[in-house]
């Protein structure tokens, strides 16, 4: 979801730059090239992410951009009411204006701090998606260790929430006796979006519960061994491993 092909990105940027020359009136070709500064960004606030035909909050909406959508910023304009808009390219043919606060610029590390604040206000999968954007798109941000820890904690909380949902969907009458329950639970539809966000769960068949696999904690311990968050990440990972080990022993007995 958040790992586009670098070669395709470069081709797309070049096409956007060439095409943009012909949409900037009142200047020579050389002047237009000098003015073009394409910046890569990512949608981080769906509440503000309407793509419009003009830089105006009342302008017709082309489409709503989803959280995590990559855009290419071509221009910036401030409306008379103070709202700032970016003119963005979404695909080779789709362009429009979007409120600047809906987009994080990947060249600006300060936007990583804004993503953390947005994540605090978000819930469940959107919160995980924001942490994933920060981790994947801002490799040099000092916020990454905190985002990894927070992603892991949110994934653990999600495991508790989806337990009840999956149990209701997978009653005993819907499970074939010759198929392990683990197979059914790990194929449940409630896991789909988490899987697309890179969050994986295991299933403790003895305790009949999902358990987060702890990948974010392992990444934190591996990449940032001196971080202030290491102690909590290690403790949480040990608790996860204990749950799975205890479940395996119960299953054997």
Residues 78 and 169 in one domain: no
Residues 160 and 240 in one domain: yes
Q: In the chain, where do the E strands start and end?
A: 39-43, 50-52, 61-64, 70-78, 84-89, 95-99, 103-105, 201-204, 209-212
Tell me which of 105, 137, 160 is where a domain ends: 105
Asked whether residue 23 is assigned to any structural domain, the reply reads yes
Asked whether residue 128 is assigned to any structural domain, the reply reads no
pLDDT higher than threshold 70 for residue 160:
yes
* Total count of domains within the chain: 2
pLDDT higher than threshold 90 for residue 34:
no
**Helix, strand or coil, per DSSP, at residue 208:** coil
| pLDDT tens digit sequence for 73-122 | 999 999 888 899 999 999 999 999 999 999 999 999 899 999 999 999 99
Environment class of 22 (CB within 10 Å of its CB; exposed 0-12, middle 13-18, buried 19+): exposed
Asked whether residue 90 is assigned to any structural domain, the reply reads yes
**Helix, strand or coil, per DSSP, at residue 78:** strand
> Could you tell me how many residues make up the chain?
253
**pLDDT, position 179:** 80
Residues 89 and 159 in one domain: no
| pLDDT tens digit sequence for 176-201 | 777 888 888 899 889 999 999 999 99
Provide the pLDDT confidence category of residue 140 given band limits of 50, 70 and 90: very high
CATH number at residue 37: 2.30.30.40
**What residues does 76 pair with on adjacent strands?**
86
pLDDT higher than threshold 60 for residue 173:
no
Tell me which of 48, 76, 105 is where a domain ends: 105
Residues 77 and 164 in one domain: no
Asked whether residue 11 is assigned to any structural domain, the reply reads yes
Task: Please give the mean pLDDT across all residues of the chain.
Answer: 86
Asked whether residue 138 is assigned to any structural domain, the reply reads no
Tell me which of 70, 89, 105 is where a domain ends: 105
pLDDT higher than threshold 70 for residue 245:
yes
- DSSP-derived letter for residue 191 is G
Host domain of residue 184: 152-252
Asked whether residue 194 is assigned to any structural domain, the reply reads yes
Q: What is the pTM of this model?
A: 0.81
The 10 Å Cβ neighbour count of residue 108 is 13
Asked whether residue 92 is assigned to any structural domain, the reply reads yes
pLDDT higher than threshold 90 for residue 23:
no
**Helix, strand or coil, per DSSP, at residue 209:** strand
- Looking at 170-174, 193-197, 235-239, which range is the least confident one? 170-174
**Helix, strand or coil, per DSSP, at residue 217:** helix
Three-state DSSP string of 16-77: HHHHHHCCCCCCCHHHHHHHCCCEEEEECCHHHCEEECCCCCCCCEEEECCCCCEEEEEEEE
Asked whether residue 59 is assigned to any structural domain, the reply reads yes
Provide the pLDDT confidence category of residue 32 given band limits of 50, 70 and 90: very low
């Amino acid at each position: 979801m958040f790992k586009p092909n670098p070669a395709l990105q470069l081709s797309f940027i070049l096409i956007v730059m060439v095409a943009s020359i012909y949409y900037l009136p009142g200047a020579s070709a050389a002047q237009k090239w000098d003015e073009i500064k394409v910046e890569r960004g990512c949608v981080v606030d769906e509440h503000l992410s309407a793509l419009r035909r003009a830089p105006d909050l009342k302008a017709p909406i082309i489409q709503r951009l989803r959280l995590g959508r990559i855009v290419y910023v071509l221009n910036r304009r401030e409306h008379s009411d103070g709202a700032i808009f970016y003119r963005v390219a979404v695909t080779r043919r789709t362009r429009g204006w979007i409120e600047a606060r809906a987009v994080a610029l990947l060249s600006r590390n300060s936007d990583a701090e804004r993503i953390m604040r947005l994540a605090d206000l978000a819930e469940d999968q959107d919160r995980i998606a924001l942490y994933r954007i920060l981790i994947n798109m801002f490799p040099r941000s000092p916020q990454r260790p905190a985002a990894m820890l927070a992603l892991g904690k949110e994934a653990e909380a999600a495991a508790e929430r989806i337990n009840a949902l999956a149990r209701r969907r997978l009653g005993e009458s819907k499970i074939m006796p010759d198929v392990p329950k683990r197979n059914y639970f790990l194929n449940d539809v409630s896991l789909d979006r988490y899987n697309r966000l890179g969050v994986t769960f295991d299933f403790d068949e003895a305790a009949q519960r999902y358990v987060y696999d702890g990948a974010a904690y392992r990444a934190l311990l591996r990449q940032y061994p001196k971080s202030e968050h290491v102690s909590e990440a290690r403790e949480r990972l040990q608790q996860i491993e204990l749950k799975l080990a205890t479940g395996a022993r119960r299953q054997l007995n």
